[in-house]
Structure 1
């Protein structure tokens, strides 16, 4: 794992950063090129990255769900997700 990638906390990553690192982690694990201890650490980081990606996607879905449209399909504003 590069020091720069490992140094950035997962909760501060954008979706794009997290998905790129997750792909890299999965690739390393699939190739089996790392020792057991590092594999465990990579798996744990991968799980955190997956959770971050899911959270960012959920946030985006909620924003999109709030957009309201008129009869012609034109955006008219936003509404609460549960509204």
Structure 2
């Protein structure tokens, strides 16, 4: 998959990363291809981590009322 990483959803990035891991584990890739796969895999891992961090920040931004129930959210701008 040659889709630009920055445009991938978390789910698509994870699927692509799983495909790359499978290809690397199979041992069928040439050395040059393995290096390219590893580099893309590392960028995909970073993308997934960024998306998870943004999701966690959004969850942490939920405001609670006096009873501990969700009372709203604080806007979060993922960077």
Aligned mates of 2:45, 2:38 — CA distance in 1: 10
State how 1:1-83 maps to structure 2 within 5 Å.
5-6=1-2, 8-79=3-74
Q: TM-score of the superposition, structure 1-length normalised?
A: 0.84
Q: Deviations over 1:30-73 (max 9, x none)?
A: 11111000000000000000000000000000000000112333
Unaligned runs of 5+ in 2: none
Cα root mean square deviation, aligned: 1.5
Q: TM-score of the superposition, structure 2-length normalised?
A: 0.88
Unaligned runs of 5+ in 1: none
The count of aligned residue pairs is: 76
